[in-house]
């Protein structure tokens, strides 16, 4: 192949490629006058990291070589990569017959696909050689193919008040026969929709994990099996755990006196809830002048000072954010005497 580059330019390019190849890359003894097409290989397509996993169909693993200059896709034709398992088995020649590139700065590549089989494709692999016609470069680029983990998160039952919410689901992993089997002793993080951790569970021998959480509001969440070692993180879909407030019956005297404080008490859960006393005017409920939050133990007391005799309807209204039945109320009737 004729090149318009000077001898000095070729030497600079050759030195750059050799340095980029790293300590694990060893140039072949055969003279290679044009190293533009024999750059260091990687498991990427268009330069983006590949995180594919093996399930019940063969996995197409992109084997990629970055070219030494832009727009060489019509020059570096006939390239291949020799790939094998780390133990030397399944030696395969992968044609690098596809072109790809990214911009900013440009990065041109030749790539092809290794087909990792369902039965024996998982495990440690290594790229051993890159060839271009009679030229070649011996390399040693390891990579791993892992089997797919699947994660489910079941819809929790709606709970009320202080009742704890049970969160459960399954962790499974594809096997060499292409079926899913339980994956035991896997850490599962239960996460808020915004990303903070709620709690952590472990999968048992059946692959099931379970946790109980004291929610104070209706909460959207997901499960995550964190990445560890060669394993990628695995995510479930989002579910919503629904929560109801629970309000006790009211404790109050059925009679009161004019210009004397009358008291009504009760409890409401979960969390810090707003309680407000209201009185019926005959046409509408209006504030009766006593409102505040529940105490830490869920209790509250509201007060009313009647200004005249008669029979009155009063109620306590309890409300809180993201509770399916908020606001909720209970009512009493009071006879006021002089």
pLDDT digits (tens, 9 = 90+) for 298-338: 999 999 999 999 999 999 999 999 999 999 999 999 999 99
CA distances from 45 to 57, 60, 170, 230 (A): 20, 11, 32, 19
3-state secondary structure of 287: strand
Tokens of 151: 């994660």
Angle, vertex CA 261, rays to CA 255 and CA 266, nearest 5: 75
Burial class (CB in 10 A: 0-12, 13-18, 19+), 297: exposed
User: Closest by alpha carbon to 99, among 126, 125, 71, 121?
Assistant: 71
Q: Give the model confidence (pLDDT) of 52-101 as tens digits.
A: 999 999 999 999 998 876 655 567 889 999 999 999 999 999 999 998 86
CATH code of 246-337, in short, is 2.60.40.10
Tokens of 235: 């995510």
Chain-centroid distance, C-alpha 83 = 32
Per-residue confidence (pLDDT) for residue 3, from 0 to 100: 34
Task: Identify the CATH assignment for 149-244 out of 2.60.40.10, 3.40.50.620, 2.60.120.10, 2.60.40.2470.
Answer: 2.60.40.2470
Tokens of 119: 């039965």
User: Closest by alpha carbon to 77, among 44, 114, 110?
Assistant: 110
DSSP 37: G
81 neighbors 112 (Cβ within 8 angstroms): yes
Residue 4 has pLDDT above 70, yes or no: no
Q: Where are the domains of the chain?
A: 7-145, 149-244, 246-337
Chain-centroid distance, C-alpha 283 = 52
* pLDDT tier for residue 29 given thresholds of 50, 70 and 90: very low
Per-residue confidence (pLDDT) for residue 231, from 0 to 100: 83
**Helices (DSSP H) in the chain: which residue ranges?**
7-21
**What is the rounded distance in angstroms from the CA atom of residue 135 to the CA atom of residue 188?**
49
Over residues 140-152, the mean pLDDT reads 96
249 neighbors 330 (Cβ within 8 angstroms): yes
Please, how many CA atoms are within 13 Å of residue 163, restricted to the half-sphere of its CB?
A: 16
Residue 105 has pLDDT above 60, yes or no: no
116 neighbors 154 (Cβ within 8 angstroms): no
User: Can 149-244 and 246-337 be said to share one CATH topology?
Assistant: yes
**What is the rounded distance in angstroms from the CA atom of residue 142 to the CA atom of residue 82?**
12
- Percentage of residues of the chain with pLDDT beyond 90: 74
User: Closest by alpha carbon to 141, among 122, 128, 124, 131?
Assistant: 128
Mean pLDDT for the chain? 87
What class does CATH assign to 7-145?
mainly beta
107 neighbors 47 (Cβ within 8 angstroms): yes
* pLDDT tier for residue 228 given thresholds of 50, 70 and 90: confident
Q: Flag the least confident range among 69-78, 106-115, 128-137, 239-248.
A: 69-78
180 neighbors 174 (Cβ within 8 angstroms): yes
Q: Give the model confidence (pLDDT) of 234-293 as tens digits.
A: 999 999 999 999 999 999 999 999 999 999 999 999 999 999 999 999 999 999 999 999
Per-residue confidence (pLDDT) for residue 2, from 0 to 100: 33
**What is the rounded distance in angstroms from the CA atom of residue 267 to the CA atom of residue 310?**
28
Per-residue confidence (pLDDT) for residue 1, from 0 to 100: 33
Over residues 30-47, the mean pLDDT reads 71
Residues with Cβ within 8 Å of 194's Cβ and at least 6 positions away in sequence, in order, are none
Per-residue confidence (pLDDT) for residue 71, from 0 to 100: 56
CA distances from 176 to 57, 101, 138, 186 (A): 10, 34, 31, 19
**What is the rounded distance in angstroms from the CA atom of residue 195 to the CA atom of residue 159?**
23
15 or 122: which carries more pLDDT confidence?
122
Q: Which residues pair with 149 in a beta bridge?
A: 173
DSSP 147: B
User: Residue 16's CB: how many other CB atoms inside 10 A?
Assistant: 13
């Amino acid at each position: 192949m004729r090149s318009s580059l000077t001898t000095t330019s070729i030497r600079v390019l050759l030195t750059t490629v050799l340095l980029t190849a790293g300590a694990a890359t060893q140039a072949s003894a055969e003279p290679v006058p044009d190293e533009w097409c024999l750059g260091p290989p990687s498991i990427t397509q268009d330069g983006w990291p590949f995180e594919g996993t093996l399930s019940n169909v063969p996995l197409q693993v992109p084997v990629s070589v970055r070219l030494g200059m832009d727009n060489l896709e019509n020059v570096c034709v006939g390239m291949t990569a020799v790939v094998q398992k780390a133990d030397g088995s399944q030696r395969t020649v992968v044609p690098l017959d596809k072109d790809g590139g990214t911009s900013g700065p440009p990065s041109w590549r030749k790539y092809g696909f290794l087909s990792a089989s369902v039965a024996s494709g998982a495990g440690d692999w290594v790229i051993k050689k890159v060839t271009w016609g009679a030229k070649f470069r011996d390399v040693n680029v390891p990579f791993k193919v892992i089997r797919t983990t699947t994660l489910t998160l079941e819809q929790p039952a709606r709970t009320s008040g202080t009742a704890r919410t049970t969160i459960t689901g399954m962790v499974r992993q594809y096997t060499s026969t292409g079926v899913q089997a339980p994956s035991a002793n896997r850490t599962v993080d239960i996460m808020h929709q915004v990303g903070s951790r709620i709690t952590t569970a472990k999968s048992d021998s059946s692959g099931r994990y379970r946790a109980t959480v004291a929610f104070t509001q209706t909460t959207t969440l997901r499960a995550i099996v964190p990445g560890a070692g060669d394993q990628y993180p695995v995510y479930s879909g989002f579910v919503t755990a629904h929560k109801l407030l629970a309000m006790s019956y009211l404790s109050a005297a059925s009679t009161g006196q004019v210009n004397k404080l009358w008291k009504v008490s009760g409890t409401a859960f979960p969390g810090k809830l707003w309680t407000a006393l209201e009185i019926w005017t005959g046409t509408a409920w209006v504030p009766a002048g006593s409102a505040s939050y529940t105490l830490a133990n869920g209790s509250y007391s509201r007060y009313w000072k009647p200004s005249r005799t008669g029979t009155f309807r009063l109620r306590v209204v309890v409300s809180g954010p993201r509770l399916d039945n908020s606001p909720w109320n209970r009512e009493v009737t009071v006879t006021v005497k002089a």
